[in-house]
Amino acid sequence: MTSPQIHAIVPILRSFDEAATRDFYLRFLGFEVTFEHRFEPDAPLYLGVRLGGCELHLSEHYGDATPGSGLRIEMEDVDAFHRVISERGHPNARPGIQDQEWGWREVTVRDPGGNRLVFCSRIESI
């Protein structure tokens, strides 16, 4: 028997403040909304976002995810991404670029829920 083919891994990250989460992911990082769901108008938000091939779910529901999680998001040109988000600016994020000795160039940001997102590109010379 063959194993089923996996198409994607979609992390669920905890969020607490809808306005801050939208500003961070949509305006600052440039993600787009793929869906929004609430069981009732005043219920917690469950939000899908995408940037290129990276899809994330952001949940205000207690128990859906652990605050302070970490993700590595591989991309083609982390330097270009860094320039774009630096131009957009964010009051709680001024990420730098760091070269890691294991061969990755990284930009690390923390979202309003305390989750750590590491955007990274492989360093070609290593």
**pTM as predicted:** 0.92
In this predicted model, what pLDDT tens digit does every residue of 71-100 receive, in sequence order? Answer: 999 999 999 999 999 999 999 899 999 999
In a domain, 92, yes or no: yes
Structural domain contains residue 1: no
Contact 67, 15 (CB under 8 A): no
3 in a structural domain: no
Per-residue pLDDT tens over the stretch 1-30: 788 898 889 999 999 999 999 999 999 999
Residue 85 makes CB contacts below 8 A (sequence gap 6+) with 28, 29, 30, 93, 95, 107, 109
- DSSP lists the bridge partners of residue 104 as 100, 122
Domain count, the chain: 1
Please give the Cα distance from 84 to 78 (Å, whole number): 10
Phi, psi of 28 (to 5 degrees): -75, -55
